[in-house]
Structure 1
Amino acid sequence: MTEIQDRPAAPLATATFESLSPITGDVVGIHPVHTAEEVEAAVARARDAATWWAGLSYDARATHLSTWKGVITRRLAQLADLMHQETGKPHGDAMLEAALAIDHLAWAGGHAEKVLKRRRVPSGLLMANQAASVEYRPLGVVGVIGPWNYPVFTPMGSIGYALAAGNAVVFKPSEYTPGVGEWLARTFQETVGRPVLQVVTGFGDTGAALCRAGVDKVAFTGSTATGKRVMAACAENLVPVIIEAGGKDAVIVDADADLEAAADATLWGACSNAGQTCAGVERVYVHDRVYDQFMSVLTEKARDLHADASPGSQMGPITMPRQMDVIRSHIQDALDRGGRAVVGGLDAVGERFVQPTILVDVPEDSLAVQEETFGPTVTVARVRDMEEAIARTNATRYGLGSTVFSKSRGMEIAERIRSGMTAINGIISFAAIPSLPFGGVGDSGFGRIHGPDGLREFTYAKAIARQRFKPAMALTSFGRTAKADQQLATIMTMLHGRGTTIPKD
């Protein structure tokens, strides 16, 4: 996964840095390295803006977000071109990413009131004299530390939902895609006119400064290692965090699967965005009865896919140069330990591009199976049945997404996979559904973006109990009598003594 310290911290005398095209190496833009003092100032401005923003009605905030959505949509080609320049991903992929982000922004703005507004909840028989209610209030200022691999879609899952919930946001984009972050903040400023969404740019020190600048929560997307550093910085002031970290997602192919669809999804999940997808496909477990047929379809499709700098290429470069060493080392380790490359291999790793690589006969404890590769490579293993497939899928410290291809047992298999999300007979479809939560377990992190859970992540629950009439027994008083104690014991015995009745709300 991407991280905030992939490049060394900028020297103190350096006030700016360059974002470079991973295709050509040309300078795309020059951006400031914001200091800790500048980050603190941005958070202070956001604090003032948050008071105004939270004071608006849900409808008023939704209107502002809808206006912003319209601006992004009308300038979609401009945004996609900037994403292409900074990440190298094909224009079509950039358009798709931005379109999904727009859809999520629309959902968040349109559903915030329904999810977060005050609602009555049951008081229970013991507290029948009370009217109970709960609502979800904005935290204040949210810090978002975003990745470079999906520089619009991923951070928007935090930015859009935090804004819809009534918070101000200070966004620190990756040092590889600062221009995209500035574009988002600039277009929002055009529509709202107040510093409700601001951007700070720089390296790891800037991200660390944001964690310590007095924000009320931090939403981070990046590597597990960097996520731990973010948590440590936030822990100094008890700032809560959402961590969306790495993944080692698997595809399970059952004996009755549509093999054409499964192979197509596997290849796209492994190689789209040059494999630089946290919820991308890195492992495949195929039922023995269909393994050979599946491999035939998969390898044929993979041999027709190439990554290069041509305008029509369906695969872009590896955005982060040092990731080349990781990809190469995983392939080398797999081959050294008896694995075979049926497509690609070590020669597939070039200077800026990596060609699709399919590895088989790779030991389960190898780097290519256990560690996140973050490149267009995938391991495929034969399994005797779905029990073995599930066991191997779950034998990882990660637990982000997963995929099952089966005509008859898809739900049964999906429910047994230890991951935050599973797609059945599709690929990464859960990410495109705004009402579903997105996030993982284990080393893939915790907390959720998207959906009702994503809205509530950027709020705190405010509970209110209001006395409607005086209680029959004064229990919360030093004037409580022995008779009241006996009455309470009798009531509790009637309600719960038998242990067989479960109260219904």
Structure 2
Amino acid sequence: MTDLAVDLDLPAAEPDDPHAIRIDNPVDGSLVGRVAMASREDVTAAVEAARAATAEWAATPAADRGAALRAAAAAVRGRADDLAAINEAETGKPAADAKEGVLAGAGTLEQYAELGTVHRGRSLLGAVSATDLMVPEPRGVAAVLTPWNDPVAVACGLLGAALVTGNTVVYKPSERCPHTGLLLGELLAPYVPDGVLTSLPGDGSVGAWLAESPVDLIAHVGSSEAGRAIAKAAATTGAKVLLENGGNDPLVVDADVDPRWAAAQAATGSFANSGQICVAVERIYVHRAIAEPFVTALTEEAERTGLLPLVDRAHRDKVHDHVADAVAAGARLCAGGVVPDDPGSRYPATVLADCTPGMRVLREETFGPVAPVCVVDSFADGLEAARTDRYGLAATVLTRSMEHAQRAWRALPVGTVKVNAVFGGAPGGAAQPRGASGQGYGYGPELLDEMTTTKVVHIEPAPGG
């Protein structure tokens, strides 16, 4: 038995530390490592160090901040295999997929290195004798709290945008992948001055202490419950809040598409990364005309997929509770739905048919490899069911009708609508989640605007000057 924290020279916990974060491998249950949690005093010290570093870092030329990010990106690329292997050990994310996330994160750092140097204000047309400007400035100290399902890619986006615009950062990675997050922080920190980037390991209590601290910006990707708590804390401190939180993303399947192709799309959306993706397909509304062959094909997809690793047993229990609740309420279990007898935290790709609106699997974010299917009598009924939800992250529509596609993207109250592809999109896009899913741009060039605040400057010559 090894302890990854010791191997990586991270803040390993003492053997008798009752507050240590223990990570077990989701596949075989073996110990990955034990990390010592940050204390309230550590949080205070990190915020104070970040505050002390704000003036110098804000005054650093944007080109120099961009150069620092490019160098940090190269360091991340150089350790991509290590980061991927650690991510796989902690969360079960396959190493090849994890490496894609690491390289995406390095690419995002490089993009913000370029975008940050050309992020600009505006000149205004006032009196010819005056100068009027709108100038972007750093917000100050940013608290960045990131998730476990794609830890490097998400963190690099928020950290890169915050740092290149001149903010200092206190970074808390998820307690479900502390080794991955802390190693990422160690790779980035040498390229910025002391105090500009501090990484703190910890659970929700550490995140709460950060949210209550005198910071200027809180950027959080994670659960809606945590997001609500952060927003409440920020209402007291006055911090700007960026939230990308839970989703309950619908898939609407029209009568005019090939049911086997639609089932393959649904399987990709529901089972990729074990369903542990913010924009995973969480609920499916299929037209009655193709429902039977669709469910049959989706069941075959699930059976081929088999067992998938979930991040830990607590999360697997939650996923299974949703499935069990649906079956008890009358859903038909077509595939999966049985907890395996093994030491890890794997769960089978699962298909539920005959689902009804009151089931938890439709009302709440399951965040696992579960495809709950509801049959609807018309495209309009499916669209209305998809619209009726408190979340507003993303949605997908499969249809050959341009009329239906147009109606859908205009009607769905979500940040991202995808037509005929559950994943994909051009680079550079940026969406704002709605409802319980959060607020603010969380990626793309617009994230630089979120990370800065605007000052209007009016300059007139003094009399006699």
Give your verdict on TM over 0.5.
yes
**CA-to-aligned-CA distance 1:395-414 (integer Å, 9 cap, x gap):** 11111111122234234422
| 8 A contact 1:270–1:378 mirrored in 2 | yes
Q: Structure 2: which 5+ residue stretches go unaligned?
A: 1-13
Task: Quote the Cα distance in structure 2 between the aligned partners of 1:277 and 1:349.
Answer: 25
CA distance in 1, matches of 2:429, 2:347: 33
Match of 1:48 in 2: 52
Q: 1:112-141: per-residue Cα shift (whole Å, max 9, x none)?
A: 233x31222455xxx787654312211111
Considering only CA atoms, is the larger Rg found in Structure 1 or Structure 2?
1
State the distance in 2 between where 1:417 and 1:435 align: 22
Indicate if the aligned counterparts of 1:330 and 1:367 stay in contact, CA closer than 8 A: yes
425, 433, 443: which one aligns with 1:440: 433
Alignment of 1:1-150 (within 5 A): 14=18, 16-114=20-118, 116-122=119-125, 131-150=131-150
Residue equivalent to 2:455: 462
- CA deviations over 1:68-92 (Å, ceiling 9, x no partner): 1111112211110010011111112
After superposition, the CA RMSD in angstroms is 2.5
Task: Tell me which residue corresponds to 2:408.
Answer: 413
Asked if structure 2 preserves the Cα contact closer than 8 Å seen for 1:324 and 1:349, the reply is: no
Distance between the aligned counterparts of 1:468 and 1:358, measured in 2? 72
What do the CA deviations read for 1:412-438 (whole angstroms, capped 9, x no partner)?
Answer: 4222111111222222325xx552224
Tell me the distance in 2 between the aligned counterparts of 1:129 and 1:292.
74
SS in 1 for 2:333: strand
Please show how residues 356-371 of structure 1 align to structure 2 within 5 Å: 356-371=349-364
Q: 186-195 vs 454-463, which deviates more?
A: 186-195
Question: Distance between the aligned counterparts of 1:255 and 1:16, measured in 2?
Answer: 53
Paired residue for 2:183?
Answer: 183
Question: What amino acid is aligned across from residue 76 of structure 2 in structure 1?
Answer: I
Distance 1:421-1:370 versus aligned 2 partners, 3 A rule = same
Q: Provide the C-alpha distance between the structure 1 equivalents of 2:375 and 2:129, rounded to a whole number of angstroms.
A: 63
Shift of 1:468: 8.6
CA contact (8 A) 1:258 1:405 kept: no
The separation in 2 between residues aligned to 1:349 and 1:457, in whole angstroms, is 47
Q: How does 1:316-465 map to 2 (within 5 A)?
A: 317-346=309-338, 352-409=345-402, 410-430=405-425, 433-465=426-458
- The question of whether the paired residues in 1 share the 8 Å contact of 2:122 and 2:134 is answered with yes
Per the normalisation by structure 2, the TM-score is: 0.89
Are the counterparts in 2 of residues 53 and 168 from structure 1 also a CA contact under 8 Å?
yes
Deviation at 1:212, TM superposition (A): 2.5
Shift of residue 98, structure 1, vs aligned partner: 1.6
Q: Displacement, 1:102? A: 2.3
The alignment's TM-score, normalised by the length of structure 1, stands at 0.82
Letter in 2 for 1:55: A
Change (3 A) 1:32 1:345: closer
CA distance in 1, matches of 2:387, 2:131: 45
> Cα–Cα, structure 1 residues 118 and 94, in superposed 2: closer, same or farther, change >3 Å?
same
The range that moved more, 17-26 or 411-420, is 17-26
Residue 284 (structure 1) shift: 1.3
Consecutive unaligned residues of structure 1, counting only runs of 5 or more, are 1-9, 308-314, 471-505
> What secondary structure is seen at the aligned counterpart in 1 of 2:392?
coil
- Equivalent residue runs for 1:133-212 within 5 Å: 133-192=133-192, 194-212=194-212
Distance in 2 separating the partners of 1:440 and 1:218: 16
8 Å CA contact 1:349–1:355 kept in 2: the answer is: no
Judge which range, 18-27 or 440-449, deviates more.
Answer: 18-27
Q: Spell out the pairing of 1:289-308 with structure 2 (5 A cutoff).
A: 289-307=289-307
Deviations 1:325-347 (A, max 9, x none): 32222112212222101122345
Return closer, same or farther for 1:359/1:257 CA change in 2, 3 Å cut-off: same
Q: Which amino acid is 1:82 matched to?
A: I
Secondary structure in 2 matching 1:450:
coil
Would the alpha carbon gap of residues 148 and 213 (structure 1) be closer, same or farther in structure 2, given more than 3 Å must change? same
